[in-house]
Structures are given as structure tokens and as C-alpha cells.
Amino acid sequence: MKILAAVDIGNSTTEVCLAKEDDVGKIRFLSGAAVFTTGLKGTADNVTGILSALEEAATAANISLSQISHIRINEAAPVIGGAAMETLTQTVVTESSMLGHNPKTPAGYGTGVGKTININHINHANTSDPYIVVVPESTNYETAAKLINQAKNINITGAILQQDEAVLVYNRLNRKIPIIDEVRGIHKIKDGIQTAIEVALAGHAVRMLSNPYGIATLLRLTPEETIHITPIAKSLIGAKSAVVMKAPYSNPAKPQKIGKITISGESIINVDFNQGAEMVMQAIDTAGTISNISGEPGTNIGNMLANAVKDMSALANSNAVHSPGSSHCHQEVQIRDLFAVDTFAPVAISGALAGETSLEKAIAVAAMVTAGRLPMQEIAKTLSEKTGLYTTVSGIEPVMAALGALTTPGVSLPLAVLDLGGGSTDAAIIDASGTVASISVAGAGELVTMMIQSQLSLTNRITAENIKKYPVAKVESMFHIRLETGEIIFYEDGINPRFFGAVVIMAPEGMIKIDEDRPIEKIVSVRQDAKRSVFVKNTTRAINKLLPMSMPSQGNIKHVILVGGSAEDFEIPGFISTAFADMGMVCGRGNIRGTEGARGAVATGLIMAYAGTHK
């Protein structure tokens, strides 16, 4: 009897599994474990993680490490993905800027549209125009209410206050109007700016200002301007009140040069990022097999690509130093794929009404870099020295993933496996004879987390990661919560009072409070949008690239199996299945060995391959 261990080192996760081979060569799986990869994938730093995963699996199998007779480490695909994001100030700075705001205690309800006017200038107002009055801190609520009441023949449709006094002013008004308060940057609001405010009815969210056509209606926007305010409308979904201003852009941020990329594929294509993510992706799609992508140095995109590949360059160069006979220390890193997606990021721009909610159009980019080969032998050697166990490097990642995926009940050849990881989305197709074709494309779970973090303006990446993984709920009383689906759950023993009124993440270990105050509807829409835009696009992209490359016998694929960390997601498999169902394929999350869910495909494949060669 022999005990075998298989190890898969990923960008994010190191997965191991243990199996027992009896004297007649029959294999039985014992246990598996997954830990965060320590260090950069493909470096000797990974050994620490491998050891803790092996120990965890050994404990679960009730054996000691020394009983392992053979460790097999997967020959990891030399693919590393990185993601970066930049705001593209230039694309949003037109003649005007429009800003959103969401205070806690506005007053009144409905919409108001008009030109801004400082309450102390109300005598200069004319009787023909509608106005929104602006009340600075220096004017208290009593004076403000008095001045508004006195201006009987002026058409005042709403008010914006610097202090948190909306309700106090409202209660004193003869003619009721919607009022928004807590606008800190009120001194920046000049007179005469066309402005729309909206306060929702209790229990409702704003309707007009969360809809691009609603804003267009109120502020009389051109179709072009309507396109520009779309991200603002989106950011106001779920807000209880909002103000959107069509302000002359008084203090434009220093325009940044967005820059071009040069795609070296079957031909050379230059594409300007000003044209947006969709045009960039079209260029990538038409480029065919890409040998490198470079960004114009000193521009936004140049910086972004440099950031995205920083880690990989470090690895490639440490490689160059390690590999014997290598004379040059600097290895050029080649970007083999790029994924761009339009997004937006809240940025404090100068001249903003409330810096924290002004939005800029942004572009997020994932880049995939390939190295010649990762120095897996180094890892095997270190691991063997540390454990005294016989360790070899074997297997090819996509083939192993496919073999592992095949252990899912209900699947048959030919099939496609989509490995949804952290940095890259990998696709493999195996035909009936077991021949595998594979491809990797840039962009996966890390990019989704990054988009969630920026769009919700979260200070902590871990919060974004948790929002991605679990549903959210609102703690409505000490004894009940309302899930994002509307369902209500009661807690007989009560809920920890510190959660009261908060939006919480429903993690399996318990509720996690989101420190930032974001409406639940917005969290859900940002989360789902980010997942769809990355994974639906990327899985179709990978499959479309692969199908023409595959043999005729593979054209008939009926099963698409999703594996990898992001396939564990509670929504992503559903989004992808829906897209693939249209192509007549069965698509779903794998269940490796019938027990492991989407995890452990590669490690399982390694054991299966061993069994196959030792029969």
C-alpha cells in the first residue's frame, strides 16, 4: 500500500489531495485541503503553503506526513494574471460635471429643479425662473425657513443645506419642498447652476435621478450628455435622496493622457483607450494569437500595464537569475492577453460638491503574462529537502484539470472545462480520445473584487472580497434581518446590537458589518454587474478561441464544467450557465470526485493520471 499526495499551486490557492493505492493498484481518495498560496506562484516561497496544506490533509486522513510515499507537484501553467485600474478623467470632463449626494436625513419628498441661488441672494431672484436655494452653514434653520417663507412670489422648488437641518427647516415652511442637507462643499456651489434634487418617499428609493432618462428629463440633457451621466444615475440606484447638478466645470482636473496600446498579433493593431473598453476588446478579439501587448509609456494605460505585470516581471527576473547558464538578468515579460472593462470609480475631483460621491469613468484592465517555464523543479527540491519525501513534478495543468473535472458525476466526453481562478480564466476541451486543447485568458476573480471595491468606494479589499462571496442583508431590528432577496429571518436570541441598522454580509462564520454606508440595492447591482462583465465575457471569449482550434470531433461539446475558486461563487455559475444554455450546452459547477465541489480539480487529475500510468 502506498500513499500519494498531489499538489496544485495556483496564483491564489494551493490545493492538495491525498490518495491511497492498494496492492492491486486500486486508488482511493483520502482527503484534500486548500490554503492561500504563499509567495508568488512558481517560487520556492510556495513550500510553506504546500506544507501546511499537506499537514491539514494528513490530519484529515488520520495519517502522518512521513507515511506519504510520493508527492507529485503539478507542472503549473506559466500564466500569471494581474489587474489594475485607472480613472480616465479625460473621458468624463465635458463642459459640465454632475454630482450625486445621499445624506441620511433629508426632508420632504419629490423632485425639484431649478437654478441654484444662495439664500442670501434671494432678493436678486426673478419671478419667472424656478430656483433651488442653497443654505450655507452661516444661515441657521430659523433664518433659512423665514427667508424661504418670505419669498412668496419666487418659485422655490427645493433646498440644499450645509448643516444637518433639513427636517428643522422643513417643519417651519409654509409651502413644503424637498430638502437635502449635509452638503459639506456647499461653498463651491455658485449661483445659476441648473440643479435637480429628489427625495424619495419613506421606504422608496429615488426614481428620477437613478435613471439616466430621468436626469435627462429634469436637466434637459442632450443624448450625448445623457450617455455621460449614466454612471451617476447608476450610482444613485437605491439612494433615498440625491442631487445632480449640471455645473460648469470650473476647475478641471489635470487632464491625464490615457494612451494607446499596441497589440502584436497576426498583425499589429493600435487601439486608443479613449474609445472605451468595448473597442479595446474588439481589437483584442480580432488580433488572433497575441505575442505581446505594450502600452504607451508615460500614459495611464502604460502605467496600468506596468502595475498589472509588476509581480510577474519580478518573478521572470528572479527566474533569470536562478536558471543556470542564463547570462542576462533581465527577462522581457510578454503580455499575452488583456481584458478591459468599463467601470467607474468615485474620485474626489476639485470643484466637486461632495467629493466622496462624484464619479469618474474608469477602466479596469487585467493582463496575462506568460513566462517560458516556471521553476517548479526548485520547489520540488526544496519540498523534498524539508520533508525527506520523494517529490516529482508531473502533469500539465489544463490536462490535469480536465481529468479532475471528469470525476464529476454525470459528465461525459467530449467536454469543456473552464477553470475560473483569481488572475486568469483557463479553458480546456477534451475530445473522446482524451486529447486536450487549452487556452488562458486574462481576468477572473481578482478583477471582480477590484471592481466591487472601487465602485462601492470601499477602503478595505477584504470587504470587497466578502461582498463578492456572500449575500447581503439589512439588520432591521434587534430580532430580524431582511435578506437582499426580501426574505425575512428572525433570530429568537436577538442580534448583536452593534449590527443594528447596518448592512451586513452573510458570511458562513456569521454576519460581517459593512463599515461604509451603501444601499443594499446598489451593493447587489455592482456585485452582479462586475461578475457578469468579467466572467460571461471571458468564458465565451475563451471557448470561442478554443473551438476553431479543436478537432472536428470536439465540435460536439455538450458538457461545460466550471472548476476553480470562482466557480464556488453563489452567482457566477448561474450567469455563465445562462449564457451557455443559449448555445445548447449543459453547463454547471463541477463536483470533483462527487464530493469536493469546484475545488481540487488539478490535484485530483494528478492522482488520476498516476493511476492511469500505474495500472
Which residues bind to Mg ion, rule: CB under 5 A?
10, 421
Nearest CA-CA partner of 35 in 596, 600, 597: 600
Task: Taking the CA atoms of 276, 278, 282 and 285 in sequence, report the sign of the dihedral they define.
Answer: positive
| Cβ at position 409, least distance to Mg ion in Å | 21
Q: Which does 565 bind (CB under 5 to 8 A by kind): Mg ion, ligand ADP, none?
A: ligand ADP
| Cβ at position 52, least distance to ligand ADP in Å | 15
Can you give the binding site for ligand ADP, defined by CB under 6 A? 10-13, 421-423, 445-446, 449, 465, 468-469, 564-566, 568-569
Give me 378's grid cell: 526548485
C-beta of 41 vs 228, nearer to Mg ion:
41
| Cβ at position 8, least distance to ligand ADP in Å | 7
C-beta of 508 vs 584, nearer to ligand ADP:
508
C-beta of 239 vs 376, nearer to Mg ion:
376
Q: Which does 539 bind (CB under 5 to 8 A by kind): Mg ion, ligand ADP, none?
A: none
φ and ψ at residue 570, rounded to 5 degrees: -80, -10
Instruction: Find all residues with CB under 8 Å of 157, minimum gap 6, and list them.
Output: 112, 113, 114, 130, 131, 132, 177
Distance CA 435, CA 30 (A): 28
| Cβ at position 567, least distance to ligand ADP in Å | 8
C-beta of 223 vs 508, nearer to ligand ADP:
508
Q: Which does 445 bind (CB under 5 to 8 A by kind): ligand ADP, Mg ion, none?
A: ligand ADP
Distance CA 47, CA 9 (A): 10
Nearest CA-CA partner of 391 in 378, 374, 405, 404: 378
| Cβ at position 576, least distance to ligand ADP in Å | 13
φ and ψ at residue 472, rounded to 5 degrees: -115, 165
Q: Which does 438 bind (CB under 5 to 8 A by kind): Mg ion, ligand ADP, none?
A: none
Indicate the pairing of strand 70-75 with strand 2-9. Answer: parallel
Q: Which does 356 bind (CB under 5 to 8 A by kind): ligand ADP, Mg ion, none?
A: none
C-beta of 100 vs 421, nearer to ligand ADP:
421
Q: Which does 569 bind (CB under 5 to 8 A by kind): Mg ion, ligand ADP, none?
A: ligand ADP
| Cβ at position 11, least distance to ligand ADP in Å | 4
Strand partners, 197: 112, 243
C-beta of 522 vs 599, nearer to Mg ion:
599
| Cβ at position 269, least distance to Mg ion in Å | 30
C-beta of 500 vs 570, nearer to ligand ADP:
570
Nearest CA-CA partner of 420 in 568, 530, 273, 207: 568
Lookup result for grid cell 533581465:
330
| Distance (Å) of CA 119 to CA 164, 526, 607 | 16, 38, 76
Using CB positions, name the residue nearest to Mg ion: 10
Say if residues 597 and 391 touch (Cβ distance below 8 Å). Answer: no
C-beta of 150 vs 595, nearer to ligand ADP:
595
Nearest CA-CA partner of 287 in 327, 332, 222, 337: 337
Lookup result for grid cell 461545460:
560
| Cβ at position 395, least distance to ligand ADP in Å | 14
Distance CA 170, CA 378 (A): 72
Q: 409: exposed, middle or buried (C-beta count within 10 Å: 0-12, 13-18, 19+)?
A: exposed
Q: Which does 604 bind (CB under 5 to 8 A by kind): ligand ADP, Mg ion, none?
A: none
- The CA-based angle 534-540-542, given to 5 degrees, is 90
Q: Which does 469 bind (CB under 5 to 8 A by kind): Mg ion, ligand ADP, none?
A: ligand ADP
| Cβ at position 453, least distance to ligand ADP in Å | 12
Q: Which does 568 bind (CB under 5 to 8 A by kind): ligand ADP, Mg ion, none?
A: ligand ADP
If you count them, how many residues does the chain have? 615
C-beta of 417 vs 464, nearer to Mg ion:
417
